[in-house]
Structure 1
Amino acid sequence: MALKYTKLERNWVMYDVGNSALVLLNTAVVPIYFNAINTGAHPAELVAAWANAQTVASLVVALLMPILGSLADYAGNKIKFFTGFFFTGLILCLVEAIPMGALPFLVVYVLCTIGLNSSMTFYDAMLTDVTTDERMDAVSSSGFAWGYVGSTIPFIACIALIFGGPSILGLDTLTCTRLCFIITAAWWLAFTIPLLRTYKQRYGKERDEGADGVMRNIANTFKGLLDTMRSILHDRVLLVFMVAFFFYIDGVHTVISMATSYGAALGIDSTQLVLALLVTQFVAFPSAIIYGKLAGRVGTLRMIIVAVAAYVGIVLFAAFFLKSAVEFWILAVLVGMFQGGVQALSRSYFGRLIPKDRANEYYGFFDIFGRYASVMGTLLVSVVTSLTHDPSLGVLSIGILLVVGLVMLVKLSRMQEAHA
């Protein structure tokens, strides 16, 4: 039976439709644009530079989120932090449309990515406010699913502009690409407004008012962080899951963020890269929905294990067999089958393990594990690629992290079976 959304659930899902447009643009088009304005660089240098940019953005978010997340857990604060980071990312997305050199563009891109990813951390934490534990897998999966398919609408418009603009409008390709940032920002804004208007924080810590109250709130924030750390360390199920997540999400995020840059370094035509990643979005839509339904039947943890095992195969395929556009298309389909499921179910599985009134605080630590994993993965790709001048070895190096995550998930599954 199809899930019937409440108004708030629907508006929450729509934010995924909005932000996913920028995520897709960043994945498929921006690395190619960066390569185009960074003329004369060696392909390995471009991969390393792009990996470094991802690393810096992830590191900043990982450092900020636990503290800001704890402050956001006070009643009424979550929407304020979400709004602030959303508009930061939105404005910087528009700034990216301004002609500039490769280094200034990379700096603006990093700051825009920090705004985007930070808003998504608060958005993830909203899940505990907008739905129930029983509906969490399905709603979370629907967010990713509709995000994938919805993001293709502005993306197709952007691709049509990039390829058709020079002949129809008389604009050069770089100018057409810059206009894509404006199109994407408008789409992101349109699908965020409903959530901004309707979201209400159901769970939150009570805060003290007045000047003295503000100081107590800040002091309690740091005390709360220590309490949360202790709670995580004493909760074996939560701790093992977070350690597993730290390792396996590394592979997921790195494959997503580096796919286009890696394909370009192998000499695959940019048109083939973009179209293949567009197919990824369409494959991901039904796959994420199916994952949410299967989680209700066979268990969320089991479906996460299946997805991580598949990603081990994906990384091996990319390192040893990816040489041409055909193999890249195969990779794109495989990624589409599993990326939405593993991200959505990880988000919802974690949401059921944590106290609802401290969701942002816990999701801040969740983001630490996710973002530091991304730092480690992209940094590993950057270092190995720079040392060997072989991007394939850089991709292969993250396979170990996926295997470690898979082993930890299996351990968690056995722990739960023992307590059943």
Structure 2
Amino acid sequence: MSARMTTREKQWILYDVGNSAFVLLSTAVVPIYANSLLEAAGQSNIVSTWGYAQTIASLVIALLMPLLGSLADVQGMKVKFFIGFFGTGAVACCALALPLAWLPFLVICVIATIGLNGSLTFYDAMLIDTTSHDRFDKVSSHGFAWGYIGSTIPFIASIALIFLGPDLLGWSAAACTQATFIITAIWWVAFTIPLLSGYKQVHYRVTTDHMAQAVRGTFSELRNTFRDIVRNKPLWMFMIAFFFYIDAVNTVISMSTSYGTQLGIDSTQLVAALLVTQFVAFPCAIAYGKLSSRFGAKTMILTAVIAYLCIVFFASFFLKTATEFWILAILVGMFQGGIQALSRSYYGKLIPKNKANEYYGFYDIFGKTASIIGTFLVATTTSITGNASIGVLSIALLLVAALVFLLLQKDPTSKD
């Protein structure tokens, strides 16, 4: 396996650098800003409100992706759907800069999140057109790794603007925060251009009349794909395990800042700790890709699931101060990129390449539906008990379920 990245691989990786800036901003800055809007309107429970907003975004993606994924498997269609969702996300990211009340702000945030996650479905499926089967783990891991480190550049600029802008520029704190949404959107667009300029869809479903035949055959294709998944025991067992463990990963990512805010941790500490997470995640994600070539992707995924189980227990029982939040951020950084990258590449090894978008559409059903359950579970448990720690603890049940299915699944990629 060549150690050098090809031009097409680098172009594909750059989209992770671009979109990760919005992911980081959504994790660290957007919930804090949303909380300030909620407090101004007399609202108080940021964890449940933010959780419900993320649930709605995930539900829309889970419903749309299998259908659109099947259409995108037609020659030339994958990049068109990618552009549509990416463009929607970038425009909505800019729109967050408008002076808004908390409800319209959250609505636009949901639209931006849908645009981001929708583009990622097609982006993930582009991996099989970008590199060879034996390089999936390596390239996918580098995507997440460079996404983590690259996203820190606009993020640091944004944080500097938020903290220094009011004194240096004479802007209000709200105006400085709003400007960060525009900075992030520009970064996102700039690092998407190389992918769009060099991408070619190698694996696709051929039709004589692209859209007409694709639309007519979509539901039949979806039915056949679902039947094929059911018949492929290693695949569906992994998908169920993925459903449970990615729930924990996505929920920890999307709810960490709001959870810390509700615990009373200073916003400066929250943002700084999450920035450190990016720097920790960079080498760890690359290391995960290398370790997978020695121990196998599934073994490394199992390791990360067990680690996340420990992280959830730590967050539930020990996270009280900024120091513990820093520890949590570092632990998450060690395993977050690895489990995401290897899940994406491992799944790509199990599916037929000419129906990648359709299969990744089902992948998104499991991933985004899990996110719906995770954020809804945390939000609802917190609302009922009045204790955010109990809401976080509920994630452990999902991780245990994931471990069971992973241990029962026979790995078809194993060399044994």
**Structure 1-normalised TM-score?**
0.97
Q: How does 1:3-22 map to 2 (within 5 A)?
A: 3-22=3-22
Gaps of 5+ in 2: none
Task: Work out whether residues 43 and 265 of structure 1, in 8 Å CA contact, stay in contact via their aligned partners in 2.
Answer: no
Task: Work out whether residues 44 and 390 of structure 1, in 8 Å CA contact, stay in contact via their aligned partners in 2.
Answer: no
Tell me if 1:408 matches 2:402: no
Where 1:39 maps in the other structure, the secondary structure is helix
Q: Which residue of 1 aligns with 2:54?
A: 54
Q: Which residue of 1 aligns with 2:333?
A: 336
Structure 1 stretch displaced more, 392-401 or 44-53: 44-53
Q: How does 1:311-322 map to 2 (within 5 A)?
A: 311-322=308-319
Rate the CA distance shift 1:42–1:400 in 2: closer, same or farther, 3 A: farther
Q: Output the amino acid matched with 1:401.
A: L
Q: How does 1:146-161 map to 2 (within 5 A)?
A: 146-161=146-161
Q: How does 1:261-272 map to 2 (within 5 A)?
A: 261-272=258-269
Structure 2: distance between partners of 1:151 and 1:11 = 16
Q: Deviations 1:54-97 (Å, cap 9, x if unpaired)? A: 00000000100000000000011000000111111111111100
Structure 2: distance between partners of 1:19 and 1:214 = 29
Q: Deviations 1:237-275 (Å, cap 9, x if unpaired)? A: 001000000001000000000000000000000000000
Q: Which residue of 2 aligns with 1:180?
A: 180
Tell me if 1:326 matches 2:323: yes
Moved over 6 A (4+): 41-44, 414-417
Q: Which residue of 1 aligns with 2:230?
A: 233
Structure 2: distance between partners of 1:10 and 1:412 = 33
Task: Work out whether residues 65 and 118 of structure 2, in 8 Å CA contact, stay in contact via their aligned partners in 1.
Answer: yes
Structure 1 stretch displaced more, 65-74 or 165-174: 165-174
Structure 1: distance between partners of 2:289 and 2:413 = 20
Q: Which residue of 2 aligns with 1:110?
A: 110
Q: CA RMSD in A?
A: 1.5
Q: Which residue of 2 aligns with 1:128?
A: 128
Q: Which residue of 2 aligns with 1:37?
A: 37
Structure 1: distance between partners of 2:37 and 2:23 = 20
Structure 2: distance between partners of 1:391 and 1:43 = 16
Structure 1: distance between partners of 2:181 and 2:397 = 36
Structure 2: distance between partners of 1:111 and 1:95 = 10
Q: Which residue of 2 aligns with 1:72?
A: 72
Q: Which residue of 1 aligns with 2:239?
A: 242
Gaps of 5+ in 1: none
Rate the CA distance shift 1:413–1:303 in 2: closer, same or farther, 3 A: farther
Q: Which residue of 2 aligns with 1:84?
A: 84
Task: Work out whether residues 48 and 385 of structure 1, in 8 Å CA contact, stay in contact via their aligned partners in 2.
Answer: yes
Tell me if 1:368 matches 2:365: yes
Count matched residues.
Answer: 416
Q: Please report how far the alpha carbon of residue 39 of structure 1 lies from its aligned counterpart in structure 2 after TM superposition.
A: 1.6
Q: How does 1:252-401 map to 2 (within 5 A)?
A: 252-401=249-398
Structure 2: distance between partners of 1:306 and 1:83 = 35
Q: Output the amino acid matched with 2:347.
A: F
Structure 2: distance between partners of 1:110 and 1:73 = 26
Identity %: 60
Q: Please report how far the alpha carbon of residue 2 of structure 1 lies from its aligned counterpart in structure 2 after TM superposition.
A: 7.8
**Structure 2-normalised TM-score?**
0.98
Structure 1: distance between partners of 2:257 and 2:367 = 21
Structure 1: distance between partners of 2:201 and 2:267 = 44
Q: Please report how far the alpha carbon of residue 207 of structure 1 lies from its aligned counterpart in structure 2 after TM superposition.
A: 1.6
